[in-house]
């Protein structure tokens, strides 16, 4: 893969770059937030690894701005800020996953593999529930004929829910299907993404399709 790493600590950047290149990835390293943002938007990368505390511009702002231009690019935040609040801020600004320093390189590789392998299928399958339609081939979602813009992870999450319509899915199952088995299920990442989907899919519609089953998980279904 062609990977962009935005990290201002030279030792950390060199450690990651060397390890990823040993795995036959191409790695571009930038140490400044503004320069990194410009490169992420203007050039083609398969993955962005991004620190939060950066000179020039914070990683949160970089993530938010890159996500506006590159909705499908996987973004992995890598930072020493490891509280639940910090992780939620990263996700709210468009990150797909979050790993804290210090970290084991094997864990970083596992997160990268999970992010890049969990892509929507290209079989051309179309799911229709009520007035909601998802096309897995062209990655489009419409409700009441109006297109809904989703990030890559939001799309995959919705596809999992629609493929299992009327089935209650546990947080563990959702985490495994959308983020891979190495996803950190000790935080409220899934709840955050469910709320993102609700804001885009159910907001301004009298008929809600995404439902919480307390103590069990989530289900996408038509309410009778």
Predicted confidence at residue 81, as pLDDT, reads: 72
Distance CA 23, CA 146 (A): 43
Statement to judge: residues 64 and 139 lie in one domain? no
Checking if the pLDDT of 122 tops 50, the result is no
Listed residues 56, 86, 117: the one ending a domain: 117
**Which residues have C-beta within 8 Å of that of residue 109, sequence separation ≥ 6?**
19, 23
- pLDDT band of residue 117 (cuts 50, 70, 90) is low
Checking if the pLDDT of 110 tops 80, the result is yes
Predicted TM-score of the model (pTM)? 0.61
Statement to judge: residues 48 and 91 lie in one domain? yes
Predicted confidence at residue 137, as pLDDT, reads: 81
| pLDDT mean over 174-180 | 79
Listed residues 98, 117, 136: the one ending a domain: 117
Statement to judge: residues 53 and 138 lie in one domain? no
Listed residues 117, 142, 157: the one ending a domain: 117
Checking if the pLDDT of 118 tops 70, the result is no
Please name which of 107, 103, 62, 55 lies closest in space to residue 82, comparing C-alpha atoms: 103
CATH number reported for the structural domain that contains residue 45 in this entry? 3.40.50.2300
Helices (H), the chain: 10-22, 33-42, 59-69, 84-92, 105-117, 152-163, 171-178, 189-201
CATH number reported for the structural domain that contains residue 212 in this entry? 1.10.10.10
Residue 82: domain span: 2-117
Statement to judge: residues 15 and 110 lie in one domain? yes
Statement to judge: residues 27 and 67 lie in one domain? yes
Statement to judge: residues 46 and 86 lie in one domain? yes
Statement to judge: residues 46 and 138 lie in one domain? no
Statement to judge: residues 7 and 100 lie in one domain? yes
Number of structural domains found in the chain? 2
Predicted confidence at residue 75, as pLDDT, reads: 92
- pLDDT band of residue 134 (cuts 50, 70, 90) is very high
């Amino acid at each position: 893969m062609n990977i962009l790493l935005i990290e201002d600590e030279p030792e950390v950047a060199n450690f990651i770059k060397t390890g990823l290149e040993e795995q036959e990835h191409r790695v571009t390293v930038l140490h400044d937030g503004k320069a990194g943002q410009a490169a992420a938007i203007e050039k083609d990368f398969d993955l962005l690894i991004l620190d939060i505390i950066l000179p020039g511009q914070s990683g949160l702002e970089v993530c938010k701005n890159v996500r506006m231009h590159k909705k499908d690019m996987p973004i992995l935040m890598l930072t020493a800020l490891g509280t639940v609040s910090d992780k939620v801020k990263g996700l709210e600004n468009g990150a797909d996953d979050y790993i804290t320093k210090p970290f084991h390189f094997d864990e970083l590789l596992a997160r990268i593999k999970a992010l890049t392998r969990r892509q929507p299928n290209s079989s051309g399958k179309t799911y229709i529930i009520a007035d909601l339609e998802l096309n897995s081939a062209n990655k489009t979602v419409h409700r009441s004929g109006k297109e809904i813009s989703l990030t890559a992870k939001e799309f995959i999450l919705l596809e999992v829910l629609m493929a299992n319509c009327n089935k209650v899915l546990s947080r563990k199952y959702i985490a495994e299907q959308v983020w891979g088995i190495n996803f950190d299920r000790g935080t409220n990442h899934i709840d955050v993404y469910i709320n993102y989907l609700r804001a885009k899919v159910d907001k301004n519609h009298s008929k809600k399709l995404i439902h919480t089953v307390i103590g069990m998980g989530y289900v996408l279904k038509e309410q009778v």
